[in-house]
Amino acid sequence: MPPTTFYPTSSSETREEIQSGVQKGATRDPLEALEQHFDHRKFLEGQERVVSAILTGKDTMAVMPTGGGKSLCYQLPALVMDGVAIIVSPLIALMKDQVDGLTAKGIAATMINSTLTPAEQRERMLELSEGKYKIVYIAPERFRQQAFVEALRTVDVSLFAVDEAHCLSQWGHDFRPDYLRLGQAVKMLGHPQVAAFTATATPIVRKDIVDTLELRDPFISISGFERPNLSFTITQCEKKRQKFDRLAKIVREHKKGIVYCSTRKRVEEVADTLHSQGVRVIGYHGGLDDKMREIAQNRFISKEVDVAVATNAFGMGIDRPDVRFVVHFDIPGSIEAYYQEAGRAGRDGEAAVCELLFNYADTRTQEFFIEGNNPSLATIHAVYEAVRRHADSNGDCRMTLREMADEANLPNDMGVSSAVSSLGRLGYVRRFDVPGSRMRGTRILRPELEATDLEIDAEAIEEKDRRDREKLKAMIELCYAEECRQEWILGYFGEEEAQPCGNCDNCLNDRSSDLRKPESDQEKLIVQKALSGVARMSRKTNRGYEGRFGRSKIAGMLVGSRSQDVLNARLDELSTYGLLKDCGQAYVLNLLRELHARGLLEQSTGEYPLLTLTPRGVEAMKGGANYKLAWPALMLPSTKRTSSSKGSVEMPESLEGMEFDEELFEALREKRNELAKVEGVPAYVIFSNQTLEFFARLKPTSEEAARKIRGVGEVKAERYLGEFLPVIQNAAE
């Protein structure tokens, strides 16, 4: 088969990039390689653009959830590109599986890790430089040896891929110092093309990856975190009683699930309560010994019991697909933790619910954890001195953590445990098992050092504390957010194109289901024009703006109304007069109402409320786009001018002027009720009355036109338009 040149399908790449892809030796169709080598017919979400980016020669960072198909994103390019792809991967067991799998597919792959003898390693290197392999997995600790990296320089490296790249960030949950060396290795290898992969990367971690690996103008892809089968709800609970009521209802309704609590005590309390209600339940937390934990976990996995009540220690290894609910009885410490835990619901792809029972007072527990996890320099010093004072001549100290806390004058042993861990990481102490006892001792490794001699990066300690607090703050923000929960979370993880899920509490609560940022410059401009109209009709003082007119007069001025009201006030002489003529009065009135609701405008109280700009409104007027609106339903002016094609909706001057087809409205309602019955949901969940009214007036007959109507989000469009459009088409005939 003659090789075919591969061109990326995405149009955003420049010609140079395509060229460099060709030069890089990307000479086969990836889809063909996908079929031939991996026996898959399609790419999974996000895979194609990552593969394309790598094949165009770009440094790349891909963030995909576990199971999202990351390995293929480097394996496939590795086959297509000239040379050997180096894959850095931390888990030796996993490495072997991967290599065996590839070899079984007839792909020349191998690995280098500590299981090889030096002779074998030399042999492997030789084979690599002879080009015998397309893919080599390398364990990160190999890069400790300068000589190893030197030897690698004889190899023609096509791609340097780093799996589990978050391990190089101290702010990730899985920091591995060996990963920090990878940046140096990349440099020594003459900066081959680099691709980094991870399943968990917040903005900070992503930045660390880009910086450490020195990615050059990287293509960054974040995909696949969406969980459309999960419905997220955050319920404000003033009293513990409310939490228990809510929990009982969820357990009754959804039966199989996990309840996460923040403390051991809470786990026991909740498990006891459920048990007394006749629910078959296990409790699970770090205070149980290994054996008990294993038994509890197995009873849940084997489906002997249906409900697990647990701290965050639970779940690392569990993979029960039929979990129908995850309840957070207390607020977790970060969005990362929350989404990971909630994500254990609905692994089988069937619908599942995630509910957080939120009480602001619970955030105190998380703050307490943060304090414990980030002991101050003074605490670390005090603990060190306590251990040193009580060490025997070998440097061994047999105090429990509790005793150390007392000795160091600390209120609890949580900070002590973290302090000992930090001292351990820095090489000043080592923990050891005390023979014939369950306790662990602490050995001072350099007894000659006093606390003040220790080299401890106080700034890093503070920084970590600050970041932990920021994570908690984001979690609290989510609890108060009015927009789609899923979209908010995906935005937090960096997925920029996320859409409202149509399925969370905020989406189902009509008010906020359609909040979104301006989608085009045109929308942004309309808002800017409306705001500058308000500014022109306000009084500017040195403290900001003061309102002088009400909403309808401002709208009249903006659409260029000839009404007496407007003309008498000589508003037709303003430079902003008629600026939004094309939008129509109804649109502008709605827009002003919405700008007020979103805090860009403010209204005075009293009989004649006067409208003016808030500081946020001023910012938006100047071009800032950091706001979200439920955009009014009517089409943008461009739609009016350009849309003559069948099925599009003409831009009406005002909604009131549009004929309301009552018969159609009734038909649509009937359709809606029918669907609601089938799906077992309240009717308004499908489409609100307002949306049906828009349908009945605007009569969109194409999906494209219908999608522009307020209340028709991505999810609802997919799910329901197929049902409603025929009804509208019928009425149009």
- In the complex with ligand ADP, the residue whose CB is nearer, 226 or 505, is 226
Residue 724 contacts which entry, Zn ion, ligand ADP, none (Cβ below 5-8 A, type-dependent): none
Residue 68 contacts which entry, ligand ADP, Zn ion, none (Cβ below 5-8 A, type-dependent): ligand ADP
Residue 67 contacts which entry, ligand ADP, Zn ion, none (Cβ below 5-8 A, type-dependent): ligand ADP
Residue 93: CB minimum distance to ligand ADP, A: 13
- Return the half-sphere exposure (C-beta side, CA atoms, 13 A cut-off) of residue 692: 22
- In the complex with Zn ion, the residue whose CB is nearer, 209 or 501, is 501
> Phi, psi at residue 289, to the nearest 5°?
-75, 170
Residue 509: CB minimum distance to Zn ion, A: 10
Nearest one of 265, 292, 327, 346 to 282, comparing CA atoms:
292
- In the complex with ligand ADP, the residue whose CB is nearer, 35 or 470, is 35
Residue 100: CB minimum distance to ligand ADP, A: 13
Residue 319: CB minimum distance to ligand ADP, A: 13
What does the CA dihedral 456, 459, 463, 464 come to, rounded to 10 degrees? 10
- In the complex with ligand ADP, the residue whose CB is nearer, 72 or 102, is 72
Residue 66 contacts which entry, Zn ion, ligand ADP, none (Cβ below 5-8 A, type-dependent): ligand ADP
- In the complex with ligand ADP, the residue whose CB is nearer, 179 or 197, is 197
CA distance 488 to 19: 38
Tokens of 221: 């892809």
The verdict on 611 binding Zn ion (CB under 5 A) reads: no
Residue 242: CB minimum distance to ligand ADP, A: 39
- Helix axis angle for 47-55 and 70-80, nearest 10°, is 30
Give Cα 442 distance to the centre of its chain: 40
Residue 711: CB minimum distance to Zn ion, A: 13
- In the complex with ligand ADP, the residue whose CB is nearer, 195 or 416, is 195
- List the helix and strand counts (H, then E) for the chain: 31, 22
Of all residues in the shown chain, the one whose CB is closest to Zn ion is 484
Positions touching ligand ADP (CB under 6 A) are 40, 42-44, 47, 64, 66-72
CA triple 157-161-162, angle to 5 deg = 140
Encode burial over 410-433: b for 16+ CB neighbours within 10 A, e otherwise.
beebbbbbbbbebbeeeebbeeee
Residue 424 contacts which entry, Zn ion, ligand ADP, none (Cβ below 5-8 A, type-dependent): none
Residue 507 contacts which entry, Zn ion, ligand ADP, none (Cβ below 5-8 A, type-dependent): Zn ion
The verdict on 270 binding Zn ion (CB under 5 A) reads: no
Quick one: which segment of 446-454, 493-501, 678-686, 719-727 binds Zn ion (CB under 5 A)?
493-501
Query: Could you count the other beta carbons within 10 Å of the beta carbon of residue 538?
Result: 20
H helix intervals, 302-446: 335-342, 363-373, 377-389, 401-407, 414-425
Beta strands in 91-187 (DSSP E): 109-112, 135-138, 157-162
What string of DSSP letters covers 176-239? -HHHHHHHHHHHHTT---EEEEES---HHHHHHHHHHTT-SS-EEEE-----TTEEEEEEE-SS
Residue 484 contacts which entry, Zn ion, ligand ADP, none (Cβ below 5-8 A, type-dependent): Zn ion
Residue 193: CB minimum distance to ligand ADP, A: 20
Q: What track of x and - describes contact with Zn ion for positions 497 through 536 (by CB under 5 A)?
A: ---xx--x--x-----------------------------
Residue 71 contacts which entry, Zn ion, ligand ADP, none (Cβ below 5-8 A, type-dependent): ligand ADP
- In the complex with ligand ADP, the residue whose CB is nearer, 70 or 443, is 70
Tokens of 290: 């290994």
Residue 66: CB minimum distance to ligand ADP, A: 4
95: alpha, beta or left? (left if phi > 0; alpha if psi -120 to 50): alpha
Instruction: Using CB under 5 A, count the residues that bind Zn ion.
Output: 6
The verdict on 383 binding Zn ion (CB under 5 A) reads: no
First-to-last alpha carbon distance for the chain, in angstroms, is: 54
CA distance 723 to 601: 39
Residue 500: CB minimum distance to Zn ion, A: 5
Residue 228: CB minimum distance to Zn ion, A: 10
Residue 501 contacts which entry, Zn ion, ligand ADP, none (Cβ below 5-8 A, type-dependent): Zn ion
Residue 527: CB minimum distance to Zn ion, A: 23
- In the complex with ligand ADP, the residue whose CB is nearer, 44 or 569, is 44
Tokens of 21: 């892809």
In sequence order, what are the residues at sequence separation of 6 or more whose Cβ sits closer than 8 angstroms to the Cβ of residue 373?
Answer: 414, 418, 468
- In the complex with ligand ADP, the residue whose CB is nearer, 69 or 624, is 69
- In the complex with ligand ADP, the residue whose CB is nearer, 47 or 158, is 47
Nearest one of 221, 205, 199 to 45, comparing CA atoms:
221
The verdict on 667 binding Zn ion (CB under 5 A) reads: no
CA distance 43 to 4: 19
Quick one: which segment of 13-21, 481-489, 630-638, 714-722 binds Zn ion (CB under 5 A)?
481-489
- In the complex with ligand ADP, the residue whose CB is nearer, 161 or 649, is 161
Q: Is residue 119 packed enough to be buried (19+ CB in 10 Å), middle (13-18) or exposed (0-12)?
A: exposed
- In the complex with ligand ADP, the residue whose CB is nearer, 47 or 648, is 47
Residues 201-240 that bind Zn ion (CB under 5 A): none
Residue 548 contacts which entry, ligand ADP, Zn ion, none (Cβ below 5-8 A, type-dependent): none
Residue 221: CB minimum distance to ligand ADP, A: 13
- In the complex with Zn ion, the residue whose CB is nearer, 504 or 634, is 504
Residue type, 292: M
CA distance 669 to 641: 32
CA distance 176 to 372: 22
- Return the half-sphere exposure (C-beta side, CA atoms, 13 A cut-off) of residue 381: 12
The verdict on 601 binding Zn ion (CB under 5 A) reads: no
- In the complex with ligand ADP, the residue whose CB is nearer, 70 or 381, is 70
CA triple 313-317-323, angle to 5 deg = 90
Residue 42: CB minimum distance to ligand ADP, A: 6
Residue from the set 135, 152, 162, 484 that interacts with Zn ion by CB under 5 A: 484
Q: Position of tokens 């390398």?
A: 138
Residue ranges in contact with Zn ion by CB under 5 A: 484, 486, 500-501, 504, 507
